[in-house]
Amino acid sequence: MKKTYGITGIVLTVCLFIGTFWDLYINKALFMKDNFFSLFFYRLTPIVYSTVMMIGVALIFHTLSFKKKSKIIYFFSGLLYLFFTVFSIFLAYSHAKTGGAIYGISAALVIACLVKKIPVELADRYRWAGFAIFLTALCSMTIVESIKPIWGRVRFRSMQGNLSLFTKWYQINGNKYLNMVPVKEEIKSFPSGHSQWAGTTLSLSLLAFVHPKWQEKEKTVFFVTLFYAVVVMISRLMQGAHFLSDVTVGFSSAFLFFLLFREIIVNRNLKKNK
C-alpha cells in the first residue's frame, strides 16, 4: 500500500501545481450551472460522510466490553457515540431534509447491529480502526472548516461577469470580498469541504486492513473510495463551487489524516499486540 499512497500523493501534488496556474481556465471549461450530476453529489456527499462518522463512533463504543473496561471509559465512550451519531443524523437532515433524517436514523441502527456481530477476538482490532476512521473525519473537517473563513476565496459561480474577483489559492482574503457576493458561503471556496468529506471514505479501507482474512481487499476498498472521491471533486468543479486547487487541498486534508492515524493508531497497535 505504501506505493499506492505514494503515487496518490504525487498526483495530488501535480494537481495543486496545475491549479496554481490554470484554476480559472479549468473552471471556465467545466462550469455547468445547476446540472443534475453536481446537485446529486452535493446532497449525497454529506450523507456518505455522516455514515463514515457513524461507523467510526459505533466501532469505538460497541466493541467495548463492559466487564473489562471501567465505567468511566464506558460512560465517556457512550457520550462520544451519542453526540456524533446525533450530529451525523443532523448533517444528513440538513442536506436531504426528512429523507436524510430517516436515512441517518436507519443507518445508525443498522451499523450498530452489524458492529455488535463482530467476533470478540477481533473487537480490539476494529476498535482501533474506529478511532482512526472517526479522527480522520473529525480532524480533517475541523481543519477545512477553520481555514475557509480565513482564506475568503470567492467561488467561481459568484464571479460570473466579474473575474477580477479571482484569487490564487495561496492568497488570504478574509472578508475582503464579502460585500461583492450574495451570501457569506460564496467566499468559502478554499478548501473544498465536500472533497474533504469524500476523502474521509478512504479510511473505510481500514475495515479490511484490520481483519486478518480480508487484508488483501484493502487496496480494492481504497481504490473504490478513491474513485468516489474523484467523482465528487469533478462535480464540485462543474458546479462552479470550487477550483482544482480547492478540491485538491480539501481531499488532501482527509488523505493525510488517514495516513497519519492509520500508522500511529492502527498499524502500531496491531504490531504491538501481535
Rounded Cα gap, residues 31 and 134, in angstroms: 34
Assess contact for 251 and 191: CB atoms under 8 A.
no
What one-letter code names the amino acid at 60? I
Rounded Cα gap, residues 200 and 102, in angstroms: 22
Give the per-residue pLDDT at 1: 86
Rg (the chain; Cα; Å)? 20
Rounded Cα gap, residues 41 and 195, in angstroms: 11
The cell numbers describing 190, all together, are 478554499
Give the per-residue pLDDT at 66: 59
Percent with pLDDT over 70 in the chain: 95
Band of residue 265 on the pLDDT scale cut at 50, 70, 90: confident
Band of residue 273 on the pLDDT scale cut at 50, 70, 90: low
Assess contact for 174 and 150: CB atoms under 8 A.
yes
Rounded Cα gap, residues 189 and 192, in angstroms: 6
Give the per-residue pLDDT at 75: 84
> Which stretch of DSSP H or E encloses residue 92?
helix 71-116
Residues 6+ apart with CB under 8 A from 67: none
> Which stretch of DSSP H or E encloses residue 223?
helix 218-239
Give the per-residue pLDDT at 264: 85
Listed range (10-19, 58-67, 233-242) with the worst mean pLDDT: 58-67
pTM of the model: 0.92
Rounded mean pLDDT of the chain?
Answer: 92
Give the per-residue pLDDT at 60: 92
Rounded Cα gap, residues 73 and 60, in angstroms: 11
Length of the chain: 274
Assess contact for 84 and 134: CB atoms under 8 A.
yes
The residue to which cell 472517526 is assigned = 134
Band of residue 67 on the pLDDT scale cut at 50, 70, 90: low
